[in-house]
């Protein structure tokens, strides 16, 4: 057993999406609500941080230091768990043209995190320098990688897979669809599935990396987590399923398919997706249903990984407004 610090509200709900399923005319769609993990407005990083934080507490750490994009959900969740446990938190965030106090950044401030802005190319150097100076100052830093995707973080999603299996019981799930970024989430799910000899298949929808790199990362992290639990299972990149064809204009840049998916989930099920990860994964899933890749009679489980606070940042509210204007202009011909 690998120890964790209990932080999340688990199990997260597993629900059916009957109206969305009917509207798409394809498989039955289920949803696993990891947007409801309960700490700091939720999301998949809380599960990972339960395991990383136990490790940090075991090492008597006093300051969490991590790194991410300006609207990083991972950084926001790290800031929240630090507050909850009475630790300091330093976030090294990628410089955005206007780093306004909105969306996740607003929450980072509320949770009392210290924010250091760094240009993309400088970020890793600034991260290491921040760690060194925190060490010198006796602040006992604990470093958390991008997305908390290390072996412990991946292991958390092996445990999440087991949780889902207990909820499903004897129901047959043919596909599991999840947004995949720094790969830890998909790695843990694939490890859990592999260890249980699960018959369903797991498809990661890439939000940034190309298929080759993402498969390598997923397999690597799955194997590291397998080693951590002294299991003998090893996965090859070839065993991992990734679709990198829904990346549009790139990371953090939602297009029409993402906004359409957001509206479908919101209008048919009252569920809010996030513009960077889950809307992209949902757009991918919807496209694969329309192409008859996922078929009627099958059951697809969509794993909601959270991220909604980013929606309330200026850049995404403006982006959605532009989308509605584009649609109106198209309707007028």
Ligand X SMILES: *Cc1c(COP(=O)(O)O)cnc(C)c1O
Smallest separation, CB 188 to ligand X (Å) = 8
In the complex with ligand X, the residue whose CB is nearer, 24 or 281, is: 281
Of the listed 72, 149, 182, 206, which one is catalytic? 72
Number of residues that bind ligand X (CB under 6 A): 20
Measured at the CA of 157, the angle between CA 35 and CA 225, to 5 degrees, comes to 155
Joined tokens for residue 299 = 């059951």
In the complex with ligand X, the residue whose CB is nearer, 214 or 288, is: 214
In the complex with ligand X, the residue whose CB is nearer, 2 or 23, is: 2
Q: Would you say 208 and 179 are in contact if contact means Cβ atoms under 8 Å apart?
A: no
* Stretch of residues binding ligand X (CB under 6 A), selected from 232-240, 270-278, 286-294, 316-324: 270-278
233: phi then psi, degrees, rounded to nearest 5: -60, 130
Q: Which of residues 177-206 bind ligand X (CB under 6 A)?
A: 179-186
Smallest separation, CB 255 to ligand X (Å) = 17
Smallest separation, CB 38 to ligand X (Å) = 15
Q: Which of residues 143-162 bind ligand X (CB under 6 A)?
A: 147, 149
* Stretch of residues binding ligand X (CB under 6 A), selected from 7-15, 85-93, 112-120, 176-184: 176-184
Cis peptide before 11 (omega within 30 of 0): yes
Smallest separation, CB 275 to ligand X (Å) = 10
Smallest separation, CB 154 to ligand X (Å) = 8
Binding string, 72-111, against ligand X, x = CB under 6 A? -xx-------------------------------------
Rg over CA atoms, the chain = 19
DSSP sequence for 214-278: HHHHHHHHHHHHHHHTT------GGG-EEE-TT-TT-TT---HHHHHHHHHHHHHH-----TTTH
* 315 belongs to the binding site for ligand X (CB under 6 A): no
Smallest separation, CB 252 to ligand X (Å) = 11
* Stretch of residues binding ligand X (CB under 6 A), selected from 227-235, 261-269, 274-282, 311-319: 274-282
Beta bridge partners of 65: 90, 143
Smallest separation, CB 221 to ligand X (Å) = 9
Which one among 12, 21, 305, 313 touches ligand X, defined by CB under 6 A? 305
In the complex with ligand X, the residue whose CB is nearer, 5 or 48, is: 48
Alpha helices, DSSP H, located in the chain: 18-24, 44-58, 73-85, 103-110, 123-136, 151-168, 184-196, 211-228, 256-269, 278-290, 314-332
* 44 belongs to the binding site for ligand X (CB under 6 A): yes
Task: List, in order, residues 6 or more apart from 160 with CB less than 8 Å away.
Answer: 34, 47, 188, 189, 192
* Residues 76, 153: Cα–Cα separation, whole Å: 16
* Residues 80, 134: Cα–Cα separation, whole Å: 20
218: phi then psi, degrees, rounded to nearest 5: -65, -50
* 277 belongs to the binding site for ligand X (CB under 6 A): yes
Task: Select from 220, 198, 88 the least CA-distant residue to 151.
Answer: 220
* 217 belongs to the binding site for ligand X (CB under 6 A): no
Which one among 52, 252, 274, 301 touches ligand X, defined by CB under 6 A? 274
Active site residue 72: yes
176 membership: H or E segment, kind and range: strand 175-180
Instruction: Name the residue with the smallest CB distance to ligand X.
Output: 307
Residue identified by tokens 């829904």 is: 246
Q: Which residues are catalytic?
A: 72
Residues binding ligand X (CB under 6 A): 43-44, 73-74, 147, 149, 179-186, 274, 277-278, 305-307
């Amino acid at each position: 057993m690998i120890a964790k610090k209990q932080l999340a509200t688990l199990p997260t709900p597993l629900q059916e999406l009957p109206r969305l399923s009917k509207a798409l005319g394809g498989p039955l769609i289920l949803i696993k609500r990891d947007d409801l993990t309960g700490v700091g407005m939720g999301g998949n990083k809380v599960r990972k941080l339960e395991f990383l934080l136990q490790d940090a507490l075991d090492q008597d750490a006093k300051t969490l230091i991590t790194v991410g994009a300006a609207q990083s959900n991972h950084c926001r969740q790290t800031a929240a768990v630090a507050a909850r446990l009475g630790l300091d938190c330093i976030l090294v965030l990628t410089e955005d043209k206007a780093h306004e106090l909105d969306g996740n950044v607003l929450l980072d401030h509320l949770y009392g995190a210290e924010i250091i802005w760094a240009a993309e190319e400088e970020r890793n150097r600034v991260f290491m320098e921040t760690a060194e100076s925190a060490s010198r100052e006796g602040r006992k830093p604990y470093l958390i990688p991008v997305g908390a995707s290390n072996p412990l973080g991946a292991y958390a999603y092996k445990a999440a897979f087991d949780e889902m299996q207990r909820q499903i019981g004897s129901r047959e799930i043919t596909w599991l669809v999840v947004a995949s970024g720094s790969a830890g989430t998909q790695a843990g799910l694939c490890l859990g599935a592999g260890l249980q000899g699960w018959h369903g298949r797991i498809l990661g929808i890439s939000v940034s990396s190309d298929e080759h790199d993402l498969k390598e990362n997923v397999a690597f992290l799955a194997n590291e987590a397998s080693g951590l639990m002294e299991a003998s299972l090893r996965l090859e990149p070839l065993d991992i399923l990734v679709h990198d064809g829904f990346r549009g204009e790139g990371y953090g840049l939602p297009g029409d398919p993402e906004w359409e998916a957001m509206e479908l989930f919101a209008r048919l099920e009252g569920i809010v997706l996030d513009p960077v990860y889950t809307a992209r994964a949902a757009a991918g899933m919807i496209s694969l249903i329309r192409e008859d890749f996922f078929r009627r009679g099958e059951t697809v489980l969509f794993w909601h990984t959270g991220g909604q606070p980013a929606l309330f940042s200026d850049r995404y509210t403006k982006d959605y407004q532009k989308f509605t204007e584009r649609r109106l202009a198209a309707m007028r011909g």
